[in-house]
Amino acid sequence: MENHILNYIYFPYCSIVLLITLASISYIIKIFSELCPNTIKFTVYTYFMTVHTVAFFLFVSEKLSWFAENGKPSSVYGHYFLSVLGFFIDVKTEFYIILSVFSFIFVPMSLSYVVCGLVGLGRIPVNIGKALRISILIYAKSLLPFSAIGIAFLGGISFTKWGKEIHTFRFLYLISCLLVTLFSLFLIFVTTSWREILIKADISDKKIIKMLKKKNDFMMRKEPKIKSRLSDE
């Protein structure tokens, strides 16, 4: 495929997208460096620790022949390795689990808030905003190992006897992993520094906020001693 016509489009295009993605990740880190420095340091360290760990075991698996030339495990250690990787990259199942748990909090509380609010007793007993942020944070942190494992594989497959087949599409896989990294970093940084973001944005005087607060006060009109939680969300 060295002189294939697709090379004149595929590799330049992927290179540009790759550079834009890397620049976006750097920009996201720079923006939030003052809002959540400790979160950034811990997240970046964990990310590269995952990359290094997976790359190390890829090297070990090649030296000890854990996998055959067709990529299938040829020893019990290969099966163990795939089981551990499968646990960390099964983000679809984790998404459904988190969504299901959150639905048991959000749906009953929301319906109760609406129905009770019609008679002025629309107090929200559970902090929905906090539950939502925790759910997003858990899922975002599950995406980081997923993308880190992908990065490690893309860097290590050149040294394996089973990874030659995906060499042509490595750029696309790499960009996909970096986009997942960008998305997860954005979610983590926003959910951990949301208070600072709201303070800098100064949205307290916005019409939409005043309208929502007015509606919330109406729903809680028979509970005058309870302070509205809308500003805490």
pLDDT in tens, 152-179: 887 777 677 666 655 556 777 778 888 8
Q: Please report, in angstroms and rounded to a whole number, the separation of the first and last CA atoms in the chain.
A: 55
Higher pLDDT, 89 or 212: 89
Whole-number pLDDT of residue 70: 73
CB-based burial, 111-130: b 16+ in 10 Å, e otherwise: ebbeebbeeebbbbeeebee
| Residue with more model confidence, 99 or 2 | 99
pLDDT range class, residue 107, cuts 50, 70, 90: confident
Nearest to 128 by CA among 95, 108, 105, 104: 105
pLDDT confidence of residue 190: 84
Instruction: Specify the pLDDT at position 165.
Output: 58
232 pLDDT band (50/70/90 cuts)? very low
Q: Residue 228 pLDDT > 50, yes or no?
A: no
Give the per-residue pLDDT at 158. Answer: 67
The residue with greater pLDDT, 10 or 201, is 201
Cβ proximity of 41 and 139 under 8 Å: no
Report pLDDT digits (tens) over 130-155. Answer: 888 888 888 888 888 888 888 888 77
**Residue 9 to residue 116: CA distance in whole angstroms:** 60
Res. 6 pLDDT band, cuts 50 70 90: low
Give the start-end residues of each E strand in 33-111: none
Q: Which of 64-78, 110-124, 173-187, 204-218 has the lowest mean pLDDT?
A: 204-218
* 22 has pLDDT over 50: yes
- Is pLDDT of 202 > 70? no
CA torsion through residues 65, 71, 76, 77, sign: positive
67 strand-pairing partners: 73
pLDDT at 233: 47
Cα–Cα dist 164/67, whole Å: 14
Query: Which is more confident, 65 or 206?
Result: 65
- Which tokens hold the place of 92? 């679809």
Residue 180 has pLDDT above 50, yes or no: yes
- Look at 171 and 192; give whichever has higher pLDDT: 192
CB 86 within 8 A of CB 70: no
